């Protein structure tokens, strides 16, 4: 199975501004249905990173960070999921 088939891209929106939007690449073997965004939104903010890891989040970028990656050519705006999988493989997050 290809890495892209083992992951999903979940988008968490806390607002409408780019800094309020988070793109999460999720390991489907840990969270077959993706992240439970409603549950994450009510999580204690101090434990947010830990909850993401426990939920299978491999990498997470804010909308601002995605824009930087797009401008650098590391991520394609047209296919963010595939681009983040390639980036995660390049960085050793996915093998």
Decide if 30 is inside a domain: yes
| pTM for the model | 0.86
Is residue 7, in this structure, part of any structural domain at all?
yes
34-48: per-residue pLDDT in tens?
A: 998 788 778 787 888
Specify the number of domains making up the chain: 1
pLDDT tens for each residue of 53-69: 999 999 999 999 999 99
Evaluate whether residue 95 is within a structural domain.
no
pLDDT recorded at residue 66: 96
Percent of the chain with pLDDT over 70: 100
Average pLDDT over the chain, rounded to an integer: 91
Find the domain containing 43 and state its range. Answer: 3-90
The verdict on residue 85 lying in a domain is: yes
In terms of C-beta distances under 8 Å and separation of at least 24 residues, what long-range contacts does 78-84 make, across chains too?
80/9, 80/23, 81/4, 81/7, 81/8, 81/9, 81/25, 82/4, 84/9, 84/23, 84/25, 84/59
């Amino acid at each position: 199975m290809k890495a892209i088939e083992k992951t999903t891209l979940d988008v968490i929106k806390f607002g409408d501004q780019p800094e309020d939007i988070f793109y999460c690449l999720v390991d489907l073997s840990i969270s077959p249905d993706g992240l439970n965004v409603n549950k994450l939104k009510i999580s204690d903010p101090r434990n947010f990173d830990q909850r993401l890891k426990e939920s299978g989040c491999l990498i997470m970028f804010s909308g601002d960070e995605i824009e930087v990656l797009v401008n650098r050519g590391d991520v394609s705006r047209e296919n963010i999921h595939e681009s983040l999988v390639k980036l995660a493989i390049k960085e050793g997050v996915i093998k």
